Structures are given as C-alpha cells and as structure tokens.
Structure 1
Amino acid sequence: MVQLTVTPEKSLADSPVWIRACGLTPSQPVTLYSSLIDEKGVKFQARAFYWANEAGEVDVKEASAVGGDYIGVCPMGLFWSLKPEKMFHRLIKRDAIGSPFHVQITLFGSFILMPSTNDTPLATCPIERWFVAPGVERFQIKDGQVRGALFLPPGPGPFPGVIDMFGGGGGLIEFRAGLLASKGFAVLALAYFAYLDLPRTLEEINMEYFEEAAKLLLKHPKVRGPGLGVIGLSKGAEVALAMASFLEQIDVAVCINGTTNVNGTPLRFRDIYIPAVRYYPEKYIISNMGALYGHHIIGDPWDEAHQASAIPLEKAQGQLLFVVGEDDHALNSKLFAELAIARAKKYRKNNCTLLSYPRAGHLIEPPSSPLCFASWIPGILKPTQWGGEMEPHAKAQEHSWKEIQKFLELHLGPAGSSNV
C-alpha cells in the first residue's frame, strides 16, 4: 500500500519537515507536488520528479530530485521553490496569528508537469505551517503615535525585546515578528507609514517616532532591558541603522539589504537634519519580464550628496549586523554594507559584522520562504525586480536566520523558546 507521510504535520513555517513515500514499485517514477492558496486567493505550487529506490521508497532527506522545480537532494525544496500562478505576486502571511498556511503535499505515480483532473494521486497529505507557536500572544499597539503589533512568548519572561520593520511598501507585516516571538523574543512589529492613521506616504523619517516606540517596548514588564534589538529589511534596514546611530535604547541592529545613507526622504531627530539622496528613476533598467532593475537608481555612493546623507553609524554604541544578498537587484546592498564597515573602521569602531551571500536576492526572509524574484510595491507603476537564484537564496535564508538569532541573543541575552 502506498503511503505518503509529512512529519510533523503541524510546524512553524521556518522549521523543516520530513517528506517520505513508501509502498511504491522499485524504480517507479513519481512526482511530489506541493500547493497552497494564500490569503488573497492566489495559488502557489511546486513539483519535483524522483525515482523510487529498490525498496520502493522516496525519502527527500536522501533522494535526489531529477527534475521539476529543483534538482538534487533538497529536503525543503517543495517549499522554497513554490511559485505563484499570478505573476509578480509575493507570498506574505498577513494574519500571522489567526491561521496557518495550509499546504497540500501530493504524490503521483509518474512524472507530471502540471496536475489535471485526469491525474489521480497515489496519496495526499495536508499540513499546516504556522507563524506563531502555541501560547504566543499578539497585542494591537495604538499608543501615542506608535502603531504596530506586539508579540509575546508564553511565560513570565522577561524576554529580550526586538523591534521588527519591513520596507518601502509600508503597512504592517507581522510574520517575522511572530516567528521571532516563537523563539523567545518579545517583538514589536512596527509600522511607520501607510497603516491606520499613519501618513499614507513616507515624507520624512522622524526618529522621535522610533524613539517613542523603543521606550514603549522597554516599559513592558515582559521585556528585559536595558537595551533593545532592531531588525529591518530594505528601507527598514536604513531606519534600523539610524535607530542604532541615534537612539540610546538600541543595543543591536540587524540590517538586511539596506543602504547606509538616507534615501528618498530626509531624516530628522530633534535639531539634527540629514538630507536625502534623491532617486534617479531614469537609471531603472526594464527587464524582459517587464520588471524594474533598480541597482543604480541611488546614484554614485561616493559623490558629495551621499556623503552629506550618510547615517552617522560611528555614533552607534551597540553591535551592527549587515545581511546582504550579492544578487540584490533592488540596490547594491553589499557595497553599502562594505562602505558602512569602512566608515566604522575610519572612526576606530569595531562593532560591525557582515554576512554576505552569493546569488541571494533582496528579500532575504525566514527559511523555506519561496524566492520572490519580482513583485509590485505601492506607488511604482511597474513591478520591482528583487533578484536571487532559488537554491542559493534558500540556503542564505536558512543560514542567516540562525545567525540573526544567535547575534540577537549574544548581545541581548538568552531568549525563551517554544515549539509547535
């Protein structure tokens, strides 16, 4: 009898699962197929072709895929190779706490490129991929100017506190905060524009808003001080670096594929004003798929405007971790990280660490997240190209996620833990 098992059937979205089929005919060709429908009704799918071994089994921990969306031994390939049926659509879990992603793993008894109603599966196994562990609580934050969501691990704490931010699309994205809270961090997913009553567009980075958010998080009885961590992606990485440079509450900053200058919108902190480097939209390159390659739109990092807009990271008293994808198509993130480290050394600072990943793109997210090569962001008339190659990008996500948590714990103290 053919059996398909996925262990565990309920897991955190950043955790590995074990997929195994047995009861097959020796050397039988099979297709393993994964699919999910996201919260916007868009279907994602992936497939891989295998030959059963002499015992009539396919174990993805050991078996090598011979074709499909990836080749070789890739235990989590059916997850990180998921692709949307709708072009330029990014897989994002908006409701981090209320429901999981429901993923269907299906086994077919031949090589099938695209399953149809005429293809009868040998076995199916539905699984759940959660973004919070049991006991993690979410609290809506609307306090003073601050808007966001606070995720707290179960137990009395206190837990190391982290502020989590995303980029130029605005709004509130919570899935990374939920996963970090599941590891034992108290995490404030922080919005800074295009959410509730915040400004619809980002006209200025006012550091007093982020200072208020840091003070708010530190006041919570389950948050262990005296300092906080901050993690940001893209524009959020730029803001995270500025927070580490200006705010005494920040002991550690993780900057994922950001710049080291103030870009697009100026920065203000009390009597300090840093002008923004303007964007050069004429330097966009439109790819064959119609997406924008923006590597050069920020201009020359060595010109006078960039020097005037540089974030004074030498003022940071805490530790800085730069995570970069060397195939980032949105901006030259590796160069900016290297310039940041050079600036720190110029001021005799030794508080910067660099994690650089060849062939990884801009959207470096938690493990098993599918590569999004290009997607729409508000305010831009064409989709933005993010870059990356699937397998190297997947490896970068897996490695960097572990290193980020280690870095936060090293400088903020040990986190609690929870498991699904």
Structure 2
Amino acid sequence: MRWKNAVMVTVGIAALLGGAALFKGLAPDRYGLPEIEVLAPGVTGKRIAQEELFGNYFRAQGPDAGPGPHPAVLLLGGSEGGLGGGAHQMALALQKEGFAVFHLAYFGAPGQTDALEGIRLELFDKGLDWLKMQPGVDPARIAVMGASKGAEAALLVAARRPDLTAVVAGMPTSVAWNGVNWASGGQSERASWTANGKEVPTMPFGEWDQADGIISVYRTIEDPSRQAEAERAAIPIERARAEVLLVCGEAETMWPACPMSQQVAVRSKARSGPSVTVLSYKDAGHFVFGPPVARDHHFYLRLGEYGGSVEGNAAARVDSWPRVIAFLRRAMVDT
C-alpha cells in the first residue's frame, strides 16, 4: 500500500466515529486535535476496571425499567479509542430506554495499548460474559452495538457468539481491515484483531487517490478482480444467530459503508445466515449513526464533515435512532 499524504490519511481515519482521536506523533496544537477521551461514567453510571476490562457501566433506567431482569447492550466505540463522547451519548440514550449498557474500551484507555492493533476478540467475549452476570441483567437478551471500527468488531463478535440476540452496526464494513496506529500517522501493517492468538485476515488497502480522499484506499472492496482477497477477509456473518441492523450514509467519504452493508446482507442471505436489515440514507455520511443532535449543540454543524450535508445527517439520525430502539425492543424486549 502506498500512502501519498500521511496527514490527510491520519485526519481521515481519525474521523471514524465521532472525530475524537489521539494523533500521537502529530502536534495537537497545530492540527487542533483533541486527546483520546476517557469519559467518566457520570451520575447514572459506574466505572469498571477489572483485570482486562475497562469501561463504563450503566444500569437500566427509564419509566418502564422496573426491577428487571433487563436486556443489555455491549457498546463499542471506534478508532477514536478510549471512552469517547459519541458512544457515551449512545450509552446514556440506551440507558434511558431501559437497556443496561457496558461501554467497553478496547484500546486507548488506562492499561491498554494506544494503537488499534492486534486487539484480542476474546476481550469482547469477556465483556459479554461480565455483562451477562450483572444483577438485573437478563443473560438471554444481550446485544452488541458498534460504529465504524466498533461496527467491524461487533460483526466479528456476532459471528463467534451464538448467544447474542441482536446486533446493531453503524457505518459498518463487510471485511476486516488493518489497524490504526496514530504513532505512525494512522497507518498500520498489523491486523486490527486477533482470535485464538492469530491475526484475523485483512483486506488489502488500495492506492491513495488525492481527488477521492481517504475512501480511495478502501475501494478495493468494490473491485471485482479482488474477490478472492475479499472472501479471505470477509466477516463470516452467516455464523451469527442474532438479528442484524446496519445503518449507513450513501454520501460517506470515509469508507464505502453502504456498499459494504449490502455485501453483509447479500452474504448472510446467500449462506442462510441471520436476517440483516440495512437502513441507508442518501444525504448522510460518517455521522449518520447515533441519537439526534440538537441544532444548538456544538457538534451539530460538524455533522456533514465526512459526507452528506449537516441537515441530511441530522435528519438521518432523527429517523434511524428510533428505528434502532424499536429493533432492539422487538428483538430483545418483546420476546
């Protein structure tokens, strides 16, 4: 792989889910980039730091919460690392809807590597097992939710955990890709994930195209001549047993999440896998997924930075988030 503009690549990859990322080796003051966030759980949550597990846990609340047992969600952020603000807002929104939520950090938090490289999928297994044992949680109604690189992890986890009830992935991928290492400008020669001590096979990146931007390196997934490589790196969604909901923006400029979403759906149907529903939005991009953002919120005007318009991404969130909640309720609450 040849990267022709390291700073642009770094900025691009950093935007995967929420825009809050650590650029080790770059000067934060020069680029105006924040440090990795490791947000406190706040008054409705609890910090968890037990052996390998580090995250924030939120007991189910809401007018219909009752004593339980409640459905629960393992929530995974993206390449921003740590416990970032975007996923934190999702956790609070899910908590208010009556779901217990474990927002698990898998890199960039205390005691963890600073790079999204070689992350053991067994860590997510431990997170799920911990979540299932919490008082007030129904171990038979567990979901995993992630966005961007967190969506990649969520789908890989779903393929190895038949005990899951539902999966929600925002801006997902159909294959595993190499990791993210901010110390080397964002690029990495290592796989993002390992399983049973071996690297998960990854899809090769393509050539950097200045006009197309960061999405150009992911265009290999759309190249018919590289189907063998795509099959080798494909997420085996057909092994999952949970229902799957994918949310994507057709105007995305980060990676081709909507074409990859369709690839996940086609593969699952062709191989007798689980039901996969795709919600796609024409005028939305990489900020398509999550609770609605108020017009007076400081982040509102950034919604269009990575594809689609501000209004298009805002409208997509208004439409998709209630559908996410309804999907989880149907799959986990009304069963």
Alignment TM class, shorter chain as reference: 0.7 to 0.9
CA distance in 1: counterparts of 2:152 and 2:301, whole angstroms: 22
SS of 1:260's equivalent in the other structure is coil
| 1:369-407 C-alpha deviation (Å, 9 max, x unpaired) | 515257xxxxxxxxxx51121222111001111000011
| 1:152 Cα deviation after fit | 1.0
Worse-superposed segment, 329-338 or 356-365: 356-365
Distance (whole Å) between structure 1 residues aligned to residue 77 and residue 204 of structure 2:
21
Distance of 1:371 and 1:94 partners within structure 2:
24
Look up the match of 1:189. 103
1:390 match: 310
Within the candidate set 132, 136, 142, 1:218 is matched to 132
Structure 2 CA distance for partners of 1:286 and 1:138, relative to 1, 3 Å: farther
Q: Aligned partners of 1:95, 1:268: CA distance in 2, in Å?
A: 27
Counterpart mapping for 1:15-414 below 5 A? 98=42, 137-154=44-61, 155-173=66-84, 174-265=88-179, 266=191, 267-270=193-196, 273-280=199-206, 282-285=207-210, 293-301=213-221, 302=224, 303=226, 304-364=228-288, 365-368=290-293, 370-373=300-303, 386-413=306-333
Change beyond 3 A, Cα 1:93–1:144? closer
Q: Distance in 1 between matches of 2:106 and 2:308?
A: 27
The size of the alignment, in residue pairs, is: 276
Q: Is the 8 A contact 1:96 1:175 kept in 2?
A: no
TM-score, length of structure 2 as denominator length: 0.75
5+ residue gaps, structure 2, are: 1-29, 180-190, 295-299
Query: Greater relative contact order (Cα 8 A, min sep 6): structure 1 or 2?
Result: 2
Maintained 8 Å contact 1:151/1:186: yes
Instruction: Report the Cα distance in structure 2 between the residues aligned to 1:208 and 1:93, rounded to whole angstroms.
Output: 24
Give the alignment's TM-score, normalised by structure 1. 0.61
Show CA shifts across 1:318-357 (max 9, x none). 1010101111110111100111111111112351001011
Counterpart amino acid of 1:306? A
Which runs of 5 or more residues in structure 1 are unaligned? 1-85, 99-135, 288-292, 375-384, 416-420
Cα deviation, residue 242, structure 1:
0.6
Instruction: Look up the match of 1:378.
Output: none
Matched residues in 1 for 2:95 and 2:334: separation?
Answer: 13
Q: Deviations over 1:62-110 (max 9, x none)?
A: xxxxxxxxxxxxxxxxxxxxxxxx99779x9975764xxxxxxxxxxxx
State the match for 2:26 in structure 1. Answer: none
Superposition deviation, residue 226 in structure 1: 1.1
SS of the equivalent of 1:285 reads: coil
Equivalent-residue separation in structure 1 for 2:301 and 2:285 (angstroms): 8
Q: Which digits, 9 at most, give the CA deviation of each residue in 1:280-319, with x for residues without a partner?
A: 4x425368xxxxx322212421412222100100000110
Work out whether residues 291 and 318 of structure 2, in 8 Å CA contact, stay in contact via their aligned partners in 1: yes
CA distance in 1 between counterparts of 2:32 and 2:315 reads: 22
Shift of 1:247: 1.5
| Post-superposition CA distance 1:11-66 (Å, at most 9, x none) | xxxxxxxxxxxxxxxxxxxxxxxxxxxxxxxxxxxxxxxxxxxxxxxxxxxxxxxx
Output one character per residue of 1:143-167: Cα deviation in whole Å (capped at 9) or x when no partner.
2211110011345322110011121
Distance 1:241 1:182 in 2: 25
Shift of residue 224, structure 1, vs aligned partner = 1.2
Higher helix share: 2
Structure-2 separation of matches of 1:325 and 1:171: 25
Q: Does the CA contact (< 8 Å) of 1:359 and 1:392 recur in 2?
A: yes
| Aligned position for 1:382 | none
Query: Once superposed, what is the RMSD of the aligned Cα atoms?
Result: 2.6
Q: More strand per residue: 1 or 2?
A: 1
Superposed, 1:8-19 pairs within 5 Å as: none
In structure 1, give the amino acid aligned to 2:54.
R
Q: Secondary structure, in 3 states, of the residue corresponding to 2:159?
A: helix
Identity of aligned residues (%): 29
Residues in 2 aligned to 1:333 and 1:212: alpha-carbon distance in whole angstroms? 28
